[in-house]
Amino acid sequence: MQMRYNTIWGLTFAVAFMLAALLPARAAPTVKPVTVAMSLTPLSAPFIIAHEKGYFRKNGLDVKVKDFIGGHRTIKALFEGKADIATSSEAVVMFNSFKRSDFTMVCTFVSSDNDVKIVTRKNTNIRRVKDLAGRRIGTVLGSSAQFFLDETLALNGVDRTTIKVSHLNPESAPAALKQGDVDAIVVWEPISHLALTGLGKDGFEVPHDRAYIETFNAIVMRDYAKKNPDVLKRMIRSLIKATEYIKAHRQETQRIVASRLGKDLALIAAIWKDFSFEISLHQWLLSTLDAQARWASQLNLVPDTIQPNYLDFLFIPPLKQVSPSSVTVF
């Protein structure tokens, strides 16, 4: 009886083995090449960590990163076909939405109410926002800094027509302030911190209301999103893993980001508290875009056309499928 049982079991195993051999082997996930135009800012930390820690690769993405200073340049690279994904603030999305509608946001990955700052020299005697009246202010045209400046002036009752605004390249702003070409600059980190420390004892950061919450977002062309939803889901999974790492390993993240940006670790550590890393698509993102669009229209900063519907500029399915609770858009 035992011999018969063993014979039957042996035959069953042999048949199963042969059937398995005849079946096609499960193919490994195809590695997808992706080019990311990344703004060189600590806000890009989730992309930096996902790349440096191998999360993109683990999710089947072969990511090549191209560095740019400012989201207005990353989105330009996206439009020119030099990148598949761009990292940029929502303000850059707003400005470009009046010119074209063939791009979309896939997710927000960080927000900050203190990334953009006002830096001045002590000898200007500018100590509060109201003191900016009648002064020369340098900022970056078509950026979150430009919106922040006007919103902050309005909240503090300063007539923007009394201010002479100079449009600067972000990397030239610290020198313009130090040389006295402008009385104050409004720029984002880490440029504002570099400007402040570059002035030494003469540097002063003007306190503000922190009313503006800036976001940084992953942006793609609409056609790319429709053709590559799986790539976008892989990207989102990688970014979620990166944000988990960022929250669990604060100091190591700061070290990696400082090294990747070529900045002093002390600088990155000093400004880190200003950032909140989370993969999301929140309703208040749409509210911010609407407010920015009204502002830009009133000041004739954008073409005189119908204001875009920013819900149309969100590609929700990938994030909704990967992390439903991360989407609060209604």
What pLDDT was estimated at residue 122? 97
Q: Are 89 and 215 in contact (CB under 8 A)?
A: yes
Q: Are 91 and 75 in contact (CB under 8 A)?
A: no
Q: With residue 204 as reference, give the H or E element that holds it.
A: strand 203-206
Per residue in 93-108, pLDDT (tens digit) is 999 999 999 999 999 9
Q: Give me 64's structure tokens.
A: 């090549």
- Answer yes or no: CATH 3.40.190.10 is held by domain 116-206: yes
CATH of domain 32-113+214-326: 3.40.190.10
Backbone φ and ψ for 64, nearest 5 degrees, come out as -110, 125
DSSP string, 41-107: SGGGHHHHHHHHTTHHHHTTEEEEEEEESSHHHHHHHHHTTS-SEEEEEHHHHHHHHTT--SEEEEE
Q: Are 138 and 177 in contact (CB under 8 A)?
A: yes
Rounded mean pLDDT for each run of 10 residues along the chain, 330 residues in total = 47 47 54 96 97 98 96 97 97 96 98 95 97 96 92 94 94 96 96 94 95 95 98 98 98 98 94 96 96 93 92 98 96
Per residue in 304-318, pLDDT (tens digit) is 889 999 999 999 999
User: Rounded distance, CA 225 to CA 154, Å?
Assistant: 38
Q: How many CA atoms lie within 13 A of 187 on its CB side?
A: 32
Q: Would you say the CATH fold of 116-206 matches that of 32-113+214-326? A: yes
Per residue in 11-58, pLDDT (tens digit) is 444 444 444 454 444 455 689 999 999 999 999 999 999 999 999 999
Residue ranges per structural domain of the chain: 32-113+214-326, 116-206
The pTM assigned to this predicted structure is 0.85
What pLDDT was estimated at residue 28? 52
What pLDDT was estimated at residue 45? 98
Q: Give me 196's structure tokens.
A: 């402040």
